[in-house]
């Protein structure tokens, strides 16, 4: 992103960076849809990034879920093995399914906070 900004006349003062998944960790963020979001682990201390958390009301969470529901890769049913694993997680760990969809991404993405990493330029 920084390379793309080089040479442009307009330069932002702040970057808000967002990731919808954590590299090599499909469990983050833990918890159910509508819960808060914990900070992901810092894997590389080279760059200082500050967290920026914006609160989403329930109506905005629903709007986000509807927008995500339009993504074609979130619509097909999960394979049998994944559905069985989710059933065991509900039974053993008390994990609740997302009210917004069967895909695990709905549980991870629809939260009461949007978490960004903020970097001043």
CA pair distance 50, 95, nearest whole angstrom = 30
The answer to whether the predicted template modeling score (pTM) of the entire model surpasses 0.85 is no
Q: What angle do CA 115, 67, 69 make, to 5 degrees?
A: 110
Which parts of 1-119 fold into alpha helices (H)? 2-5, 58-69, 80-93, 104-109
**What does the pLDDT look like over 28-84, one tens digit per residue?**
777 788 888 877 766 666 766 788 999 999 999 999 999 988 987 787 888 899 889
Say what the pLDDT of residue 43 is. 65
Check residue 61 and give its pLDDT. 94
């Amino acid at each position: 992103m920084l390379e793309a900004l080089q040479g442009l006349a307009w330069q932002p003062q702040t970057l808000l960076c967002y990731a919808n998944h954590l590299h090599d960790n499909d469990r983050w963020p833990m918890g159910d849809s509508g819960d808060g979001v914990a900070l992901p682990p810092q894997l590389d201390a080279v760059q200082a990034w500050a967290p920026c958390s914006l609160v989403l009301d329930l109506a905005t969470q629903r709007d986000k879920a509807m927008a995500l529901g339009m993504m074609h890769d979130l619509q097909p049913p999960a394979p049998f093995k994944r559905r069985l694993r989710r059933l065991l997680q509900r039974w053993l760990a008390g994990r609740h399914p997302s009210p917004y969809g069967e895909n695990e991404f709905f549980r991870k993405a629809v939260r009461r906070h949007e978490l960004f990493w903020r970097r001043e330029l």
